[in-house]
Amino acid sequence: MSYTMNVLEQAKKKNPYEPEFHQAMTEILTTIQPFVDSHPEYEKAGILERLIEPERVIMFRVPWVDDTGKVQVNKGCRVQFNSAIGPYKGGLRFHPSVSLSIIKFLGFEQVFKNSLTGQPIGGGKGGSDFDPKGRSDREIMAFCQSFMTELFRHIGANTDVPAGDIGVGGREIGFMYGQYKRLVNSFEGVFTGKGLTYGGSLARREATGYGLVYLMDEMLRQHGKSLKDKTVVVSGSGNVATYAAEKVQQLGGKVVALSDSAGFIYDAGGIDLSAVKKIKEIKRGRISEYKNYRPDAVYTGGKGIWNISCDVALPCATQNELNEDDAKALVKNGCFAVGEGANMPATMEATEVFLQNKVLFAPGKAANAGGVATSALEMSQNSMRTAWSFDEVDQKLKSIMVNIYNNITAAAKEANCEDNFVTGANIAGFKKIADTMLLQGVV
Ligand code: NDP
């Protein structure tokens, strides 16, 4: 058995009951196998064994009091995966499904993604099984303050800089930042995604969705296509989905569907994003309420969004939301490009269907890297005590996404699998970290 496959087998045995982490390791290690096996220096230095083992895993109790006066207890965790090229960087997720397996898969992906951005950021991820849905602002604050009362001692502007993810937006980051500042008595850039009045960056809110579409636009352009007049289906209706849809519309595409965990809406005339923002960003409501704004739209409960016919699909909700049957349905209906706004939304089987059918497929670690890249721009602005304009940040984001596309294209070509951006992204992300780890000795 090759070095790479041996490490994978051992890692699965050593980390049982972690299916999402197994999936992320399998996807990455199988695609980089030929590259790694042609570089014996990686095996000698135990690079893969070190890469799949987080540098540190912190798990803690988060007690807080709900509005009825009852004490609630959640799990909190931060996985500091790899700091070879910079401080740990990656979001916090608050969702009832959060487990160590999910945080490890996200942290592992983050290491490669952050490497691809070309910026000096290592990889980490964290979160809690806390469910913010239906909680009052006071309950959210109580939870965030308790979460930070433990996490603060493990993070710092040069150590670990968390950000948002599912269930963690501006409100939650504000509460956590406030508590952090109080505990350490220091005003520092320890979070990204902050409010604009206390060190946040313009365009950070839009960055993941916009970045996804910039990368898709470049990919289509280099294949003689464009988003103009194309029909696009976007899943989710949170931060990434909303701003991906906005940029598609700005580039002349028509977004006809969005979803949340309860169901999806189809609006043949094109989604009215101002209605979506009112529902999701102001009322924190459900996507089914869209019909109150556009009575002709159709709401369908449950899954099924991938059966809608489209040219381009952008899964922007959560992991494993698009399976093999969904991929076959998309291909059958003529979809020719897929970009992962979410982390690992397509299952491995679905990805295989896209690759076999020559669908242009942009994997999440490249396609959604615009969020963390702009977070790194926020860190730079904080260090320089300056604030760039929206256009300055947006221009930098755009050139980062075009660079990422060019780098993964070149890596795919070099590996003799042109247009396989999964392999390209994994090799390009891996090489920089592995070579840096070689330079830094056995640590
Ligand atoms: P939000 O919390 O803002 O939105 C998440 C959206 O996905 C909501 O519409 C939510 O619906 C839906 N969703 C969540 N879980 C499920 C599920 N199990 N089944 C179906 N739908 C679900 O999160 P973000 O937009 O920030 O994140 C979305 C994805 O993008 C995640 O995979 C995240 O890791 C990834 N990502 C985010 C970045 C960022 O900058 N925010 C950066 C890079 C990647 P509901 O409200 O019903 O739960």
What whole-number distance in Å separates Cα of residue 111 and Cα of residue 83? 9
pLDDT of residue 218: 98
pLDDT of residue 299: 98
pLDDT of residue 188: 92
- How far out from the chain centre does Cα 230 lie? 24
Tell me the CA–centroid distance for residue 16 and ligand 1, in Å: 26
420 lines ligand 1 (CB under 6 A): no
Tell me the CA–centroid distance for residue 9 and ligand 1, in Å: 31
pLDDT of residue 306: 98
Q: Mean pLDDT by 10-residue block, N- to C-terminus, for the chain (443 residues)?
A: 96 97 98 96 98 98 98 98 98 98 98 98 98 97 98 98 97 98 96 97 98 98 98 98 98 98 98 98 96 97 97 98 98 98 98 98 98 97 96 98 98 96 98 98 96
pLDDT of residue 374: 98
Of 318, 320, 375, which is best to mutate to test ligand 1, by the most ligand atoms within 8 angstroms of its C-beta? 318
- Whether 125 is catalytic is yes
**Catalytic annotation, pick one of 89, 104, 113, 125:** 125
Q: Can you spell out the DSSP letters for 397-420?
A: HHHHHHHHHHHHHHHHHHTT-TT-
pLDDT of residue 392: 98
The model's pTM is 0.97
For the CA of 260, the nearest atom of ligand 1: 11
- Paired sense of beta strands 254-260 and 263-266, if any: antiparallel
- Paired sense of beta strands 312-315 and 298-301, if any: unpaired
What whole-number distance in Å separates Cα of residue 308 and Cα of residue 333? 8
110 lines ligand 1 (CB under 6 A): no
